């Protein structure tokens, strides 16, 4: 019989080896050098894949957003690949194949870099917890992030859980801590002349003439609260918008049956941006839950990640047409 102490030691060593293998697998070098050669999609659900991380970052830098960078396969990644293939006049497959990779990897710069957490990162208007109830939200002055990790995840367009898995031993609340993060895009600068909101594909596409400038995954209404039809226009753009809740005009949240003025902030109901449309009560806006884009419905509006909404906000102006298509 094997002594219990040896069994326990083997378990401890096995766990340590697994942790070391996981850390090596998600190291900056492993992600920056990942290619499709010999690649097979990770069969273990929920396990970030180095190549998928690289693909997501490169698509983000090509201004065809995959949504949150999480290293996982999914519909938002597939639609971003298809859109990139269409823009590059490639055969459309929605998969990481040779033609797609050759075009995407023309951007050969590293996709992961080191970042040092600063004192400014730590001294922001953080909340211990964001209330879910609109009535409780209305009592606050700012609906900020819950801490540096959430803020940094959004800054680098990453899922918060991926940021942790890339830096499992990091103290996100200590100035000087070095972490590895995605090297994401500089925002586009070319002004948008028209926007297409594609309900069937769950995507917002913005053009200058016939040239695609940016593309984002989007939550577009729901069965109970559909988005508008036809063509409308941008009326105004507001960053860090407050949210005016009126259950008689929009929807009823919880037991809140009276109008409320909810403060601004990235964790507010409409996130960091409100792009007002000519159709009353409808807009294009951010979200406090970027990982749920095109996975749950909205109350009729077009919902983007905060970073995609912020990029779009600088590209549009009043009068830009917004066409809703099936």
Which of 9-18, 29-38, 278-287 has the least mean pLDDT?
9-18
Locate CATH 2.40.440.10 in the chain: 194-325
The predicted pLDDT at position 168 comes to: 97
Read off the pLDDT of each residue in 257-280 and give the average, rounded to a whole number: 96
The predicted pLDDT at position 298 comes to: 64
Query: Mean pLDDT for the chain?
Result: 91
The answer on pLDDT for 19 being more than 90 is no
The predicted pLDDT at position 300 comes to: 74
Task: Supply the CATH classification number for the domain 194-325.
Answer: 2.40.440.10
pTM reported for the whole predicted model: 0.90
The answer on pLDDT for 26 being more than 80 is yes
The answer on pLDDT for 6 being more than 60 is no
pLDDT digits (tens, 9 = 90+) for 86-108: 999 999 999 999 999 999 999 99
The predicted pLDDT at position 151 comes to: 98
The predicted pLDDT at position 11 comes to: 40
Which of 45-59, 157-171, 208-222, 289-303 has the least mean pLDDT?
289-303
The predicted pLDDT at position 224 comes to: 63
Q: What is the 3-state secondary structure (H, E, C) of the chain?
A: CCCHHHHHHHHHHHHHHHHHHHHHHCCHHHHHCCCCCCCCCCCCCCCCCHHHHHHHHHHHHCCECCCCECCCCCHHHHHHHHHHHHHCCCCCCCCCCHHHHHHHCCCCCCCEEEEECCHHHHCCCCCCCCCCCHHHHCCCCCCCCCCHHHHHHHHCCECHHHHHHHCCCCCCCCCCCEEEEECCCCCCCCCCCEEEEECCCCEEEEEECCEEEEEEECEECCCCCCCCCEEEEEEEEEECCCEEECCCCCCCECCECCCEEECCCCCCCCCCEEEEECCCCCEEECCCCHHHCCCCCCCCCEECCHHHHHHHHCCCCCCCEEEEEC
Report the percent of the chain where pLDDT is more than 90: 81
The answer on pLDDT for 167 being more than 80 is yes
The predicted pLDDT at position 225 comes to: 72
Read off the pLDDT of each residue in 164-183 and give the average, rounded to a whole number: 98
pLDDT digits (tens, 9 = 90+) for 222-251: 666 778 999 999 999 999 999 999 998 878
């Amino acid at each position: 019989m094997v002594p219990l102490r040896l069994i326990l030691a083997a378990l401890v060593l096995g766990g340590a080896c697994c942790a070391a293998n996981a850390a090596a697998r998600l190291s900056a070098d492993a992600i920056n050098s990942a290619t499709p050669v010999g690649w097979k999609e990770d069969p273990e659900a929920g396990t970030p894949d180095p190549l998928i991380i690289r693909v997501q970052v490169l698509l983000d830098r090509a201004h065809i957003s995959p949504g949150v960078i999480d290293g996982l396969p999914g519909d938002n990644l597939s639609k971003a690949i298809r859109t990139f293939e269409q823009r590059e006049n490639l055969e459309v497959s929605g998969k990481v194949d040779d033609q797609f990779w050759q075009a995407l990897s023309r951007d050969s710069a590293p996709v992961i870099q080191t970042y040092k957490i600063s004192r400014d990162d730590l001294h922001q208007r953080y909340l211990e917890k964001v209330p879910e109830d609109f009535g409780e939200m209305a009592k606050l002055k700012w609906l900020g992030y819950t801490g540096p990790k959430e803020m940094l995840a959004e800054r680098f367009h990453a899922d918060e859980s991926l940021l942790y898995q890339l830096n499992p031993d990091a103290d996100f609340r200590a100035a000087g801590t070095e972490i590895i993060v995605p090297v994401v895009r500089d925002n586009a600068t070319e002004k948008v002349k028209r926007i297409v909101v594609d309900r069937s594909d769950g995507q917002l596409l913005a053009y200058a003439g016939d040239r695609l400038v940016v593309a984002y995954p989007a939550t577009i209404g729901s069965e109970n609260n559909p988005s508008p039809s036809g063509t409308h226009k941008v009326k105004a753009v507001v960053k860090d918008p407050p949210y005016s809740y009126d259950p008689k005009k929009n929807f009823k949240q919880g037991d809140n049956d009276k109008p409320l003025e909810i403060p601004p902030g990235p964790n507010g109901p409409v996130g960091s941006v409100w792009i007002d449309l000519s159709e009353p009560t409808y807009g294009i806006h951010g979200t406090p839950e970027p990982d749920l884009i095109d996975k749950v419905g909205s109350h009729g509006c077009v919902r983007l990640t905060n970073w995609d909404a912020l990029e779009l906000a600088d590209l549009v102006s009043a009068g830009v047409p917004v066409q809703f298509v099936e």
